[in-house]
Amino acid sequence: MSTPHNQAKKEDIAKVVLMPGDPLRAKFVAENYLQNAKLVNSVRNMYAYTGEYKGKRVTVMAHGMGIPSVGIYSYELFKFYDVDYIIRFGTAGGYKENIKVGDVIIAKSSFSESRYAIDLGIKDAPKILYPSKLLLDKAIESATSLNMKYHLSQVASEDVFYNCYTLEQNIARTQNSDAVEMEAYALYANAQLLNKHALTILTCSDSMITGEEMSPEQRQTSTKNMIELALDIATRLE
């Protein structure tokens, strides 16, 4: 089967899907980490590749930017392709001094003002949603095994990239979130609604404290630790 946004056949998609926002990051992972990678979707250039990593069948598929975009792609994967696990990896802005550019962040929760979860049908949906405990535990296990430094943090999922608030106002209104991105809340909502497993792993691409930031090219390629952590988690899943 296919959907309006995904031309892949059901059997083309693995049970474990890694999801970067950027289609070029999906291509990078497929070309540099997967064995026998096959392009299975190119609708709207939202590339999806299925291959193997250390003997584990894995799909890596882009989800675009923002809550609506990740909401569509992850919902379809969970609902119509019978995907069990989605591990999103992407970049985030650091709100706190201890979050340095290049650091890995495991999103233990996501705060958002978005109505996405309510409109999806999660009655009385809170402003903070959580990842799968199974995936969160696997992420900590993997990071420990890889001897990888990470932050276990709440992130804010924003609809507006250029908002009107000061740093202090952003931290206060997002209930003391450590970093900001644009997708985790929708992914966690879809997983909760459909009884699936989801997790977000991020690399700090820019610091709201120091103003330091990665270049567009670095955002695509300088995320080695995050990518390898996501792949290692995949190998630990049934």
Indicate the burial class of 16 (C-beta count within 10 angstroms; 0-12, 13-18, 19 or more): buried
User: What value does the mean pLDDT of the chain take?
Assistant: 96
Instruction: Give residue 218's pLDDT band: very low, low, confident or very high (50, 70, 90).
Output: confident
Instruction: Give residue 81's pLDDT band: very low, low, confident or very high (50, 70, 90).
Output: very high
Is the model's pLDDT at 4 over the cut of 80? Answer: yes
CA angle 189, 191, 193 (to 5 degrees): 70
Per-residue model confidence (pLDDT) at position 179: 98
Instruction: Give residue 220's pLDDT band: very low, low, confident or very high (50, 70, 90).
Output: low
Give the residue numbers marked as catalytic.
Answer: 206
Task: Work out the end-to-end distance of the chain between its first and last CA atoms, rounded to an integer number of angstroms.
Answer: 24
pTM summary value: 0.97
